[in-house]
Structure formats: C-alpha cells, structure tokens
Structure 1
Amino acid sequence: MSLGTRLLILAALMAALGLYGALRKPYGTRLPYDVDDLSEIQPQLDRLGERERELVLGYLERSNGDVLPASMADPDFPFTARTFGEAIELQERFLREQAGRDAVAAQRRAERDRLLAPLRDALELRLVARELLTQDEALGLPADVRAKSADNGRRVLVVSYRLVNVSGRTIASAKGGVDVFDDTGRRRTHCWIDQADTLDAFAHDDVRCGNAMRTAEPDDRAFVGVPAERLTLLWEPAEIVFADGSRLTAPH
C-alpha cells in the first residue's frame, strides 16, 4: 500500500471519527419546560463543551421554559428554541446583539455623565440609611404623639440621603432624581428630591424619602439588608439654583 493511499485512509478515518463525534453531540435534546429541575437533561448537558453548556443554561434562564411559535415571538428576543442546538444559536445571537446594545448604552451614559458633571461637582448626594419605620415615625410625628399610637407591626421603607454642597457657594434650592441599584443592575429604590432650604457653602442636609401610606413589601425589607458595598447610587441633579440667582440646569 502506497504512502498516498495510507494518508487517504487516515484522512477518511479522521473525518469519520469527527462526524461520529459531532453526531454524538446532544444538539437534538429537547429543552425542558421546567427549568427549576434540570436533572433529566443533565447527562446531555455534561456532553456539551463548557461554552455550549453555558449558552444552553443562559437561554433557559432567559426563557424560563417558555416556547413560542415564530409568528408570536418577539423578533428581538425570540423564545422559539425547542432543542439544545436551537438554544445555542439563539443565545449566541442574543449575546452578540446584547454586546452591541451595552456598548451604545455605555456611550450614552458616558455622555450623560459628562453633561451632568458640573451639577454633580457642585452638589453631591450620598446614601445615609435604609430603615423600616412605623407610619408615625415615617411621618415625622413627635415622640409624645407616637407614644399614644399602638404599634400594629406595619412598617414603611424610608431611605435617607445626604446632600453636600461642595460648590463653595450658597445654594438656594436644588432638585433631581436618585436611583439605587444592586450589583445585579436591578433598581431597588427611586426618589425625587426637591430641596427648597438654603444650603450654605460646604454644608450638608439630610433628606428622607418614603411613602408613609405604603406598607413595606418583602422586597423592601430585603433591600434594607443588602450590604452597602453591593449598592450603587445614581444621582441625576436636574437644577441647582445659587443664592446669587445663577443656576445650573441639566440637559433634557
């Protein structure tokens, strides 16, 4: 047998082995409807490479087991996959497009931060406290009045912020919005601040934010216990008016 023939046979064997390996890949495995228990498909998941396994799991997390016909699916976020192979394809597409969306959003945030920098450089905002208070405490009623009220166990979420005038000039009034996000990117609370009291240069004032008529929900109670290092504050001042009549205004 010539060397050339041997090489051809070897190439054919390698191709056959490659095809066999590809056929053994569990791309045709049906996706489960119950994504809380993946035990039935775990053996097939284990036969995937790490990257493909992550893609399947990522798709299942996003879809939560939902399957829609193409005609009813969101064209931007279609949950139409029924098999591993289809899930891998859709998740790769999602990640690719999400990277583009994230880049655009980051560019917009950077531009927004640049425009807000003069206002943030004049008036800082810091997160001071997260509390579950009684309704009377949330309303700021005097202690003697609160003492006459029975504690019915109802609690209200109150978040305190500190406005710090770092401009070196007296601020007559200020307003703006603040959001607090956790490390998953989820917004945990929002507050609109309208400061009408004068704030001397380098002075600070604490502002409480909450709805005394709204009972704290389990999510609010959980928010109180989130470690501070896991939280990010986004301060977007809308307008700052100085005592001399000049003002800084955020772009619309």
Structure 2
Amino acid sequence: MKRLLLILLLPVVVIGLWRWLADPRDTALPFGTDDLSSVQAELAELSAEERQLVEDYVRRSRGDVLPQEWADPDEPLTARTFAQAIELERAYRVRMADQQLRSDALANERDAAWAPLRAIAKVELVRAEVLSPEALAARRGESAGASRASHPVFIVRVRVQNTSDETIELLQGSLKARDSEAYLPLDLCWVDRQSSLRSGSVEEFDCARLNQAASEQATAFANGAPGRFEVRWEPARIKLGSGRELRGP
C-alpha cells in the first residue's frame, strides 16, 4: 500500500520540483500577439525590472518573431523567450540612450548657433485651434460658401517681436513643436516677413494650411497634451536695416 502511494505521489512531486527549479526566463513568448495574459504567472516570478523589460520588448515587437537572417542588425526582433527578450531590450535601451546623447549634443550645437538670431527676433505661439470650414470662414470675415476649405483646418496665431535695437527688414524661420510621441516635429508656421519691423515692435498673424485637413498630431496639439509637445523657434535668416544679415544653422 505504501509503495502504491509513493508511486501515485511521485509524478506530483516531480512536477512540483520541476516547477520549483524551472527558470521563468525560459518561458516562451506568445507568438504573433502583444497580449501577455497567458504568461502572467511566469511574468510575476521575474524581478520588476526584468518584467518591465519583457513587457516593453513585446509592446515594441507586437509579438513578431523574425528569422535571424531577416532581422535588422541594429534592432533585431528575434526573441522567443523571456531571457532573449530581456537581453534584446537591454541592448535596445543602451542604444537609444547613446542616440539620445548624440541627439542632445547636436541640439545644443544648433541652439548655440540660433542664439544670436533669437536675441534679435522673438517668435512665439499665441494659440492653436482646429476650425471647421464654417468657423474658419467666420474668423476670416467670409461667407460660409466662400471658404476655400472643405475640411477642418489647423490654424495657429503667432506673435513676432523685434527685441533688438535695429529695424528688422527681413525675417524667416520656422516655428515647430517637437513631439515626444513622433519622430517628426509638427510644423506650426513658416515665418516669412519681408517688411520693416521697428525696434520693440510686436505684431501678430495667423498661419494655416487651407488645402490640408488637420492631422491627428495637429489636433492633439490644439486640444492640449501636457508634456507631449515642446514649441521651438528656429530662425533661418534675419536682415537688419544696417545691412547686417544673420543666418541660422
């Protein structure tokens, strides 16, 4: 009877021992999906750092698994297990941190080159809106039928100030919004002012692309997205009354 009981309990003991000894990092990732609900128990056995690495990798790969020969050498998505995902995501973070350092260094160089131009002309955003064709026509003092737009339009109000002690005869540059959720910035306005702006003078005007419907990015900016966007004035060219001319990077 005891022998029979031992025989019956042996598989249970073996399975329990195997689970106790098994490394959760050997767990296979779900294939073709970023849904990790099927491996939540195994995820819970990882440290908080490793769990986050796995979750970030799967979110980035969306469950895709590429053969080694097809994978991007700089950003391979070849992981099949937690351990491989942890290794690849750590390498990805190191690479992204290095790229950010180089990007920040380049941005600092460009800011230094822009500084003399920014000291002469201050350009800033007053407001940003997405207007219907009817609202845009009313804003411009036109009848609804006369509006050139047939779609919602992104429109920004821009303020320009001459902060120098000379008259500005020409001012060109771009007002942009860096987007933390997109590679490319949002173009707010290309400033191309070719009339005199005396020292200390301030002027405002609207910028809009009437032939383009407001994008999702522009709509998000107009609706307000705290922490997502950073507005930047990137002057390209300034010509002063004295004949002096400055150009941006």
What TM-score results when the alignment is normalised by the length of structure 2?
A: 0.81
Q: Deviation at 1:46?
A: 0.8
Q: Deviations over 1:144-196 (max 9, x none)?
A: x3255589983211122212211122101111122212454665521322112
Counterpart code for 1:146: S
Task: Answer yes or no: is 1:206 the counterpart of 2:204.
Answer: yes
Distance 2:211 2:192 in 1: 20
SS at match of 1:27: helix
Distance 1:140 1:196 in 2: 28
Check the 8 A contact 2:57/2:86 in 1, yes or no.
yes
Check the 8 A contact 2:134/2:144 in 1, yes or no.
no
Task: Answer yes or no: is 1:179 the counterpart of 2:176.
Answer: yes
Q: How does 1:80-159 map to 2 (within 5 A)?
A: 80-135=78-133, 143=141, 145-146=142-143, 149=146, 154-159=151-156
Q: Deviation at 1:238?
A: 0.8
Q: Tell me the residue number matched to 1:53.
A: 51
Q: Which runs of 5+ in 1 are unaligned?
A: 1-19
SS at match of 1:71: helix
Q: Deviations over 1:173-220 (max 9, x none)?
A: 111122212454665521322112221111122232221011224443
Distance 2:97 2:145 in 1: 57
Q: Deviations over 1:212-239 (max 9, x none)?
A: 0112244433321114665311221111
Change in Cα spacing, 1:21 to 1:245, as seen in structure 2 (3 Å) is farther
Q: Tell me the residue number matched to 1:241.
A: 239
Check the 8 A contact 1:138/1:210 in 2, yes or no.
no
Check the 8 A contact 1:116/1:236 in 2, yes or no.
yes
Change in Cα spacing, 1:86 to 1:23, as seen in structure 2 (3 Å) is farther
Counterpart code for 1:78: P
Q: Deviation at 1:135?
A: 4.1
Q: Deviation at 1:23?
A: 4.5
Q: How many residues align?
A: 230
Q: Which runs of 5+ in 2 are unaligned?
A: 1-17
Distance 1:197 1:91 in 2: 53
